């Protein structure tokens, strides 16, 4: 049990219209100078009063009242806790915190770590991990199969991070656990074609796995200004021999947004498991600049035939301002198939000032409604790392986005007490 630094947050909130927005105070033991970026959040589908969240570098948060108040702790592991948090709750109500490693003696980012707790209060074990191979492991994400409780994880492995050598490559890998993260399968490569190792548009990154109604595993990622796709129909044992085309990713995933230290438009993959008319539909959400260098937007594509063909690209944000929207994430309310999105938005602002919006589609991506979550915009400073992603979780009409602000060059972390009736 390696958890230190307990902190409670009860009263940090404001209201944006009828939507209450709640601040998550960082743990007193937070070690990173700009803690709380790259947040992840997950609602317990069996008890929606329980929500967990994580943020860079080693922060853990939990709520037992639906997100109105939060407790925060600092995570520890023998392998280190080094960011890229991904939160997950399985069907047995085990709580998982996936993250990068910070090993000693030259083993930095040498494996993916998954720490597990059986209770929400943050008493996590030391963690299990994918086998180290002497390479750099980055940008993991995970999903649970609700039918058999298996956990699937995908991520990028670099031959040599930031190498300019054309012989060094980046590939997408997959591993699974069939025993609630006690052990992990040997990682297998699921991308035939490699990207470079410079952590930019030509690098293979952004793999987020999704589960289909019959246990299919779907993954999309970005490389060379293109979104790619692979799938497994046998629990990850075998995959298509070669990834297939989803869409152009115009301008690539490494987006230049004024005032943001680094901004990515990496894809997020989900599949509708509900009994909606769109059951089995695969969605890929991303951001790019197809509408202009200073007009990044949020987009969606979908497939109704297991990824063989894809829809035309659909714009999620409904403004006509030709302003920037960026750092998107999506989720599906698996009780009814509704889609929810969160993203940063400059439609009503000038001089880098930024708002946060959420969007909903209750008809499979045919139409969208939006709400603004920020009472007032904030102005980010490009000298401070703002993180690579936001996040959102939803179940039975309860939606909890999680996002950052930067005020007076200080990062803060927020969620919104949001429900389906807030979207008109």
For the segment 245-289, what is each residue's pLDDT rounded down to a tens digit?
999 999 999 999 999 999 999 999 999 999 999 999 999 999 999
**What is the rounded CA–CA span in Å between residue 101 and residue 113?**
6
pLDDT of residue 17: 61
**What confidence score (pLDDT) does residue 424 get?**
82
Q: Which distant-in-sequence residues (6+ apart) come within 8 Å of 185 by Cβ?
A: 175, 176, 177, 178, 236
Span 384-389, average pLDDT: 96
pLDDT at 154 over 50: yes
Structure tokens at 390: 């936001």
- Ranges for all domains in the chain classified under CATH 2.120.10: 4-132+225-422
pLDDT band of residue 2 (cuts 50, 70, 90) is very low
User: For position 9, what pLDDT does the model report?
Assistant: 44
Phi, psi of 369, deg, nearest 5: -125, 150
Give the pLDDT band (50/70/90) at residue 107.
low
Determine what percent of the chain is predicted with pLDDT higher than 70: 95
Give the Cα separation of 209 and 327 in Å (integer).
Answer: 18
Instruction: Evaluate if residue 161 carries a pLDDT over 70.
Output: yes
CATH class (in words) of the domain with range 4-132+225-422: mainly beta
Could you tell me the pLDDT band of residue 20, with boundaries at 50, 70 and 90? Answer: very high
Q: What is the pLDDT of residue 15?
A: 59
**Does the structure show a pLDDT above 50 at 6?**
no
**pLDDT of 133:** 85
Mean pLDDT along residues 353-369? 99
């Amino acid at each position: 049990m390696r958890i230190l630094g307990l902190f409670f947050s009860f009263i940090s909130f404001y209201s944006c219209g009828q939507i209450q927005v709640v601040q998550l105070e960082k743990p007193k033991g937070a070690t990173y100078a700009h803690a709380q970026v790259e947040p992840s959040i997950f609602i317990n589908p069996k008890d929606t009063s329980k929500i967990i969240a994580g943020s860079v570098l080693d922060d853990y948060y939990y709520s037992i009242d639906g997100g109105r108040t939060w407790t925060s702790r600092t995570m520890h592991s023998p392998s280190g806790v080094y960011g890229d948090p991904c939160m997950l709750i399985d069907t047995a109500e085990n709580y998982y915190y996936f993250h990068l490693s910070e090993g000693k003696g030259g083993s930095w980012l040498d494996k993916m770590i998954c720490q597990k707790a059986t209770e929400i209060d943050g008493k996590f074990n030391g963690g299990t991990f994918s086998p180290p191979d002497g390479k750099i492991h980055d940008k993991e994400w995970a999903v649970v199969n609700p039918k058999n409780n298996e956990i699937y994880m995908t991520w990028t492995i670099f031959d040599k991070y930031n190498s300019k050598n054309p012989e060094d490559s980046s590939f997408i890998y997959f591993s699974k656990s069939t025993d609630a993260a006690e052990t992990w399968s040997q990682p297998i490569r699921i991308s035939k074609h490699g990207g470079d190792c410079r952590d930019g548009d030509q690098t293979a990154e952004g793999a987020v796995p999704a589960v289909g109604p019959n246990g299919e595993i779907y993954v999309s990622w970005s490389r060379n200004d293109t979104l790619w796709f692979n799938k497994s129909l046998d629990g990850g044992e075998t995959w298509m021999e070669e990834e297939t085309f989803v869409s152009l990713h115009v301008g690539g995933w490494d987006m230049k947004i004024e005032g943001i230290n680094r901004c990515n438009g990496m894809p997020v993959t989900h599949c509708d498991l509900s009994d909606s008319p769109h059951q089995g539909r695969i969605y890929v959400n991303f951001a790019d600049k197809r509408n202009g260098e200073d007009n990044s937007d949020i987009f969606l594509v979908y497939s109704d035939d297991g990824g063989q063909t894809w829809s035309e690209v659909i714009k999620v944000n409904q403004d006509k301002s030709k302003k920037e929207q960026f750092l998107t994430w999506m989720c599906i309310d698996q009780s009814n198939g509704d889609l929810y999105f969160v993203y940063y938005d400059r439609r009503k602002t000038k001089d880098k000032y930024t708002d946060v919006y959420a969007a909903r589609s209750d008809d499979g991506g045919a139409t969208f409604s939006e709400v603004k979550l920020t009472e007032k915009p904030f102005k980010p400073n490009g000298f401070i790392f703002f993180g690579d992603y936001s996040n959102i979780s939803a179940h039975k009409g309860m939606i909890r986005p999680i996002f950052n602000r930067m005020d007076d060059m200080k990062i803060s972390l927020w969620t919104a007490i949001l429900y389906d009736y807030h979207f008109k």
